Structure 1
């Protein structure tokens, strides 16, 4: 089990950095880090709070059934998705943003089932990729208000995903073995999604 106090400080800092970039405005987005795998326990941002104001002591602990173990705070409705990614992708942290570019691109491309990227040096920041010639794949899944169903539907897509998945018109989930790997993957995927948008703007119709 990871040191809870250190992880609280680190996750709180990452959440504030993401909010500062405009990727989780208002109370949007949700963020978690794995405290322990067996039995699974997550440290999460509470639901319904301004992510720019989250303090280490505000973070809640959630078990594998999505139950809040702390005496305060409510778990996000999207907790089942975090649990699915932590379990089936063996992720150490999961970061979910509602950025402009992830929302626009996912809505624009759906019902295509994926967006792919190749030819960019930034791809090498994704774990497992060593050349700009690699192809990174981000699945696109239909959005739903049934988070249990969404978690079920995204699980078989995880093996093909390059550390991220898009919900159409909703946003991006990114993950990594550690919190800082997840943050790196999030930043790279957001960069690539912005590139995709700008290419669409620049390409004559």
Structure 2
């Protein structure tokens, strides 16, 4: 695992995470009680700062965030941790991420289901030759291809997290869960948010491309 960077103060982290969730909510990427968001508060022992489960993530104040340990148990704050905390922990442990952001956007949900694998399987969404790919860390040219893993959804998050682990290092800072949505991460909250925005742009562009191709195909058939 990559070495974790020293984290800012708890208050600074909480303010930044609360603001990021509010901005993501305004984009329509975590409506209702959808989505879950975390950042690493301490590397050793591993402690995540998170929004509690079952609440509107667009209105969570900094003081309402909870702290969760490496077992997924709440160690500070009021509220319960999402079952999906286990996947956040897996991403942090395998990639060394400092923040993990999970959204339920229309594009992410639609494409993850459209290209999703059969139960328990794995598939990929291939993205290539797009300038916005350069927003992902480690990519310096549009002339490249990335394959975003898509895992079949599973209400058993221990099993889902175990199935995700072998694919996280090679993933382009993002992972899709079929019929569910996107997980994006980065070395810190700022990078994770950039990766989330890049992935959401690419997902939106991809489904619009599918619509455009279908429209052009129908017009060609009518000629």
TM range (shorter): over 0.9
TM-score w.r.t. length of structure 2: 0.90
**Superposition map of 1:98-109 within 5 A:** 98-109=104-115
| Aligned equivalent of 1:145 | 155
Whole-angstrom CA distance in 2 between matches of 1:71 and 1:123: 38
**Is residue 56 of structure 2 the alignment partner of residue 46 of structure 1?**
no
The answer for the alignment partner of 2:43 in structure 1 is: 37
Corresponding position of 2:3:
none
Distance 1:45 1:72 in 2: 10
What is the deviation of 1:70?
1.1
Residue by residue, what CA displacement relative to the aligned partner does 1:88-108 show, whole Å, maximum 9, x if unpaired? 011000000000000000100
The answer to which of 190-199 and 106-115 deviates more is 106-115
Corresponding residue for residue 118 of structure 1: 128
Corresponding residue number in structure 2 for 1:90: 96
Count of aligned pairs? 205
SS in structure 2 of the partner of residue 48 of structure 1 = coil
For 1:161, the equivalent position in structure 2 comes to 171
Mapped to 2, the partners of 1:193 and 1:93 lie a distance apart of: 21
Decide whether aligned partners of structure 1 residues 132 and 58 sit closer, same or farther in structure 2, where only a CA change above 3 A counts: same
Aligned residue in 1 for 2:203: 193
> How far apart are 1:17 and its partner, in Å?
0.3
Shift of 1:71: 4.2
Decide which structure has the larger Cα Rg and report it. Answer: 2
Equivalent in the alignment of 1:58: 64
Structure 1 unaligned residues grouped into runs of 5+: none
The offset of 1:13, in angstroms, is: 0.2
Specify the alignment match of 1:128 in structure 2.
138
For the pair 1:21 / 2:30, whether they are aligned, the reply is no
Q: What is the CA-CA distance between 1:42 and the residue it aligns to?
A: 0.3
The 3-state SS of whatever aligns with 1:28 is coil
Say whether 1:182 aligns with 2:188.
Answer: no
* 2:86 corresponds to: 80
What is the distance in 2 between the residues matched to 1:118 and 1:28?
29
Do the aligned partners of 2:133 and 2:198 also contact (CA within 8 Å) in 1? yes
Unaligned runs of 5+ in 2: 1-5, 218-223
* C-alpha deviation, 1:191, in angstroms: 0.4
